[in-house]
């Protein structure tokens, strides 16, 4: 009969370990999502700055090609 208690105890311990690991994965995914959002925002700002910086160059290139 002791083996039955041992199996149930080990099963409960295994479920507890899986629960802890699931929480750790959840927190890591949340952190990754925050980092991806920050990277996306930085790329958006950089692309906007690049577009603004390239406008005068594109206008000058258009003027040169029309000559």
Q: Looking at the domain assignment, is residue 66 inside a domain?
A: yes
Position 60 in a domain: yes
Name the residue range of residue 48's domain: 21-67
As for how many domains the chain has, the answer is 1
Q: Is residue 8 part of a domain?
A: no
Give Dmax over CA atoms of the chain in angstroms: 97
Residue 15 lies in a domain: no
1: in domain: no
pLDDT of residue 67: 58
Residue 66: the pLDDT is 61
Give the pLDDT confidence of 13-51 residue by residue, as tens digits.
999 999 999 999 999 999 999 999 999 999 999 999 999
Helix (H), strand (E) at residue 55? helix 2-66
Cα separation, 2 vs 37, in Å, equals 53
- 55 located within any domain: yes
- The predicted pLDDT at position 34 comes to 99
13 against 63, higher pLDDT: 13
Query: What is the predicted pLDDT for the residue at 39?
Result: 98
């Amino acid at each position: 009969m002791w083996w039955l208690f041992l199996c149930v105890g080990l099963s409960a311990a295994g479920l507890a370990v899986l629960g802890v690991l699931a929480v750790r994965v959840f927190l890591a995914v949340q952190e990754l999502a925050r980092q991806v959002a920050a990277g996306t925002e930085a790329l958006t700002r950089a692309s906007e700055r690049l577009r603004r910086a390239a406008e005068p160059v594109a206008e000058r290139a258009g003027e040169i090609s029309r000559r």
